[in-house]
Amino acid sequence: MTHPLRIALAGLGTVGAGVIRLLDANGGLIAARAGRAIEVVAVSARSRGKDRGIDLSAYAWEDDMTALAKRPDVDVVVELVGGSDGPALTLARQALGGGKALVTANKAMIAHHGMELAALAEQHGLALKFEAAVAGGIPVIKGLGEGAAANRIERLYGILNGTCNYILTQMESTGADFGGVLKAAQDLGYAEADPTFDVEGVDAAHKLAILAALAFGTAVDFGAVDISGISRIRAADIAQADALGHVIRLVGQAEMQTVKGEHRLFQRVQPVLVAKDHPLAAVDGPTNAVVAEGNFVGRLLFQGRGAGDGPTASAVVADLIDIARGNAVPAFSLPVAMLEEAPAADPGNRLGRHYMRFTVADRPGVLAEITAAMRDAGVSIESMIQHGHPLDGLDPVLVAIVSHEGPESAVAAAMRLLEGSPSLAEPPLVMPLLG
């Protein structure tokens, strides 16, 4: 065995503490697999005194975490601070600029600054690894960038946010509305005090942008992800989906389209009606799942726990074992200069069936107005359900329409025709059907 791989840990929240516990619990096995020991040398966090249930006395402490990047006794900086910019980004730049490999669980930072950091790593011949940034403990970065590396990936989709999936499956099993389930999830620690990034789809979009770059060989383009979240989904939508043989899941989807010989990248996070016999429908609670379709391998599915200290620590230490073994893979599986800048695709010609839910005033002529808009926009209606009783005890009632397969542009046109209609109590909610 050669000398140990010496790491510095920035951030001692649940994941940071989990990494220390994992290295401690499985240290012998990890050293045997890695070919050398992996040793924590120094740590940094906001508060030194806080009780984290782990013994930090063997590690050097740095009040200023950027000092970790300057220590001559450190090979790898592990960044577990979080946040797309600020201290995490400063530390990442200083680590790679200062000759240290970087391992991070920071999806926001990689989604926003992944290209810059990958270029910096490449320039200095250092590893930049972020398995823990996407789908917790599931080795999907490795699965796409190495396991499926021989394939042109044609399509990628998955359940990338455990909080949303937990909330949706709780709504399913309890019949409760979004607000109540979110509150319960917060009380249980399954949702953050400020849940915006999770429930509005931003966290899933960070992960999707990273996976898309890796799968399609494109530059990370988080800004081009079309994002909608789950906060507008009602118990009645879940019940309606159930009656149609579907469940509702927040799904991130990416596809490479070729239009007149030019590549266009489609990236979207949105709630979707998933047919009950589709593998994603069985993904319950805080589980994540990613499906990738390669031109030789066919459909691959990776599934597991998408968050939590154990799974995330497992991914961080897998990255460290790779580094200890001396295994080098470009951060996005291709040299940065070869990552293609693909413009965003026009989603209008995507074909599919759509669920459209309207909250309407219970008065004559409303259905005629909605169906006329469908007709004028060329949307063919497969089924329509109007609930006879007011929804949630409110005056407006719910009308749900499922379209036959057709282009998204027609559905969008129908929605534009209905925009601002006094018949609608709120903007319509549109979700595609999958499977």
Q: What is the DSSP letter of 208?
A: H
Query: Binders of a copy of itself among 4-33, rule CB under 8 A?
Result: 18, 22, 25-26, 29-30, 32-33
- Contact in structure between 32 and 12 (CB atoms under 8 Å): no
- Contact in structure between 170 and 271 (CB atoms under 8 Å): no
Q: How many C-beta atoms lie closer than 10 Å to residue 2's C-beta?
A: 9
Dihedral (Cα; 115, 120, 123, 125), 10-degree rounding: -100
**Residue 116: alpha-carbon gap to chain centroid:** 21
Shortest approach of a copy of itself to residue 66 CB, angstroms? 27
- Is 138 an interacting residue with respect to a copy of itself (CB under 8 A)? yes
d(CA 217, CA 68): 32
Question: Site size for a copy of itself, by CB under 8 A?
Answer: 61
Shortest approach of a copy of itself to residue 351 CB, angstroms? 25
Region from 72-80, 266-274, 289-297, 362-370 binding a copy of itself, contact rule CB under 8 A? 289-297
- Is 259 an interacting residue with respect to a copy of itself (CB under 8 A)? no
- Contact in structure between 117 and 301 (CB atoms under 8 Å): no
- Is 310 an interacting residue with respect to a copy of itself (CB under 8 A)? yes
Taking CB under 8 A as the criterion, the residue among 82, 99, 245, 308 binding a copy of itself is 308
Dihedral sign for Cα atoms in the order 228, 265, 79, 33: positive
DSSP one-letter string for 106-164: -HHHHHHHHHHHHHHHHHHT--EE-GGGSSTT--HHHIIIIITTTSPEEEEEEE--HHH
Q: Which residues are catalytic?
A: 207
- Is 297 an interacting residue with respect to a copy of itself (CB under 8 A)? yes
Shortest approach of a copy of itself to residue 376 CB, angstroms? 41
- Is 211 an interacting residue with respect to a copy of itself (CB under 8 A)? no
Taking CB under 8 A as the criterion, the residue among 150, 243, 259, 394 binding a copy of itself is 150
- Is 243 an interacting residue with respect to a copy of itself (CB under 8 A)? no
Taking CB under 8 A as the criterion, the residue among 162, 271, 294, 432 binding a copy of itself is 294
- Contact in structure between 193 and 186 (CB atoms under 8 Å): yes
Dihedral sign for Cα atoms in the order 108, 109, 113, 114: negative
- Contact in structure between 178 and 250 (CB atoms under 8 Å): no
Region from 328-336, 352-360, 375-383, 426-434 binding a copy of itself, contact rule CB under 8 A? 328-336
Question: Distance of CA 331 to CAs 116, 262, 419, Å?
Answer: 11, 25, 44
Shortest approach of a copy of itself to residue 307 CB, angstroms? 11
Specify the residue, 111 or 334, whose C-beta has the smaller distance to a copy of itself: 334
Taking CB under 8 A as the criterion, the residue among 81, 185, 220, 317 binding a copy of itself is 317
- Is 333 an interacting residue with respect to a copy of itself (CB under 8 A)? yes
Shortest approach of a copy of itself to residue 235 CB, angstroms? 22
Q: How many C-beta atoms lie closer than 10 Å to residue 421's C-beta?
A: 15
Shortest approach of a copy of itself to residue 77 CB, angstroms? 18
Taking CB under 8 A as the criterion, the residue among 58, 243, 259, 328 binding a copy of itself is 328
- Is 318 an interacting residue with respect to a copy of itself (CB under 8 A)? yes
The H or E element spanning position 77 is strand 76-79
Specify the residue, 16 or 406, whose C-beta has the smaller distance to a copy of itself: 16
The site for a copy of itself (CB under 8 A) is made up of 18, 22, 25-26, 29-30, 32-35, 131, 137-139, 142-143, 145-152, 217, 277, 279, 282, 294-305, 308, 310-311, 313-315, 317-318, 320-322, 325-330, 333-335, 338
